[in-house]
Amino acid sequence: MTYTIIIDGLFESDKVDEAKRFWNDVVWPSGVHDSYLYAAILKGLCRSGKLHDACDFLYELVDCGVTLCVVNYNIVINGACTLGWKREAYQILGEMRKNGLEPDSVTWRILDKLHGNVEKQFCEDLTCNQQFSHLS
């Protein structure tokens, strides 16, 4: 938990290189890390505009045998979508599935946003709710 706070603080202070060094020199060798810490690093890299670094980090973890969760992948997929990188977003989705994880509703909402369908879906849901409101 303490490492997560430090990593968050470094990224919030735009000290990306220090955060990476802290991970490499202190956190990884300690063996004390979890999905929350991975999420903090991935989020920090994506918010800093370093999506390629976030992808590299994600794939390095997988290569080292770390079990990631859907949230970790969603962070990077969201980073790709924020930049409008459709191909990369779907490549990350493919990697997630290849590693035995299925997309959740958040994953689909992120990808839907990439295609600009969120407002359309909201309107369709609203219309549907209005059509059946008399039944309740």
Q: Encode pLDDT of 20-46 as tens digits.
A: 999 999 998 898 888 999 999 999 999
- Asked whether 95 and 103 are in contact (CB, 8 A), the reply is no
State mean pLDDT over 43-70. 94
Q: What is the pLDDT of residue 1?
A: 62
Q: What is the pLDDT of residue 8?
A: 93
Q: Encode pLDDT of 95-119 as tens digits.
A: 999 999 999 999 999 999 888 754 4
Which amino acid is present at 62?
Answer: V
Q: What is the pLDDT of residue 116?
A: 76
- The model's pTM is 0.80
Q: What is the pLDDT of residue 33?
A: 85
Q: Encode pLDDT of 126-135 as tens digits.
A: 444 444 333 3
Q: What is the pLDDT of residue 127?
A: 41
Q: How many CB atoms lie within 10 A of CB 13?
A: 10
- Asked whether 59 and 25 are in contact (CB, 8 A), the reply is no
Long-range contacts of 37-41 (CB under 8 A, 24+ apart): 37/3, 37/4, 37/7, 38/66, 38/68, 38/72, 39/71, 39/72, 39/75, 40/4, 40/7, 40/8, 40/11, 41/7, 41/11
- Find where tokens 């920090």 sit: 44
pLDDT band at 9 (very low <50, low <70, confident <90, very high): very high
Residue 136 is inside which H or E element, if any? none
